[in-house]
Amino acid sequence: MLGEGLFHLDQSKVPHKKFQPGAGPYGEPQLFGSIVQFVKQTYPVEFKGIRTSLRPDILIPERWAVECKIVRPYGDNGVIAEHWSQNLLHPYRGNTSSIGDIYKLLDLAGPEKKAVVVVTCSQAKPELDLEVIIKIFELIATEGLKLPISTRSEKKIKGLIHPVHQQATIYGWEVGIVD
């Protein structure tokens, strides 16, 4: 469902601000907001009540509370961003990184299952192996901080229209369980 929404936004060719068309340059609120709108329209019964919020980023009432991040090493112009990995790795409670999101989800009351989702954007033949940064995230979370996250799920989305962000991978971990 997240992958479908991302691909739909990408193929719409609607640019974010003054960037080149494609889903890759979208900011987190805009990307995930667009995905949620797609899901609402495409699956009104299956995902009834889905919405974006400040905490969590995506809420499917009674089902899921999801915190989301984008990891994008290269900008719209193909130049490497200086602090591209910080959204994933800062290992502090209260930080806006994915690790900080795990802490937020662990503190979140409610009946929903909890998950952290990371979307990476890269070239079709990536110059940087983003699998390395994902493994470092998992190592910090599970070994360094002993945070309870599941084994990762992932979905690759190829054939995106942006000249730099040509593919995306959506990674997800359920929070609060270890399998």
Which positions ≥6 away from 114 have C-beta within 8 Å? Answer: 56, 64, 65, 66, 67, 105, 106, 108, 174, 175, 176
Domain around 106 = 2-175
Dist. CA 104–CA 81, nearest whole Å: 27
Task: List, for residues 27-49, the tens digit of each pLDDT value.
Answer: 999 999 999 999 999 999 999 99
The pLDDT tens digits of the residues spanning 103-142 come to: 999 999 999 999 999 999 999 998 899 999 999 999 999 9
User: Over the stretch 49-78, which tens digit does the pLDDT of each residue have?
Assistant: 999 998 899 999 999 999 999 999 999 999
Percent of the chain exceeding pLDDT 70 equals: 100
**pTM attached to this predicted model:** 0.95
How many structural domains comprise the chain? Answer: 1
* Radius of gyration (C-alpha) of the chain in whole angstroms: 16
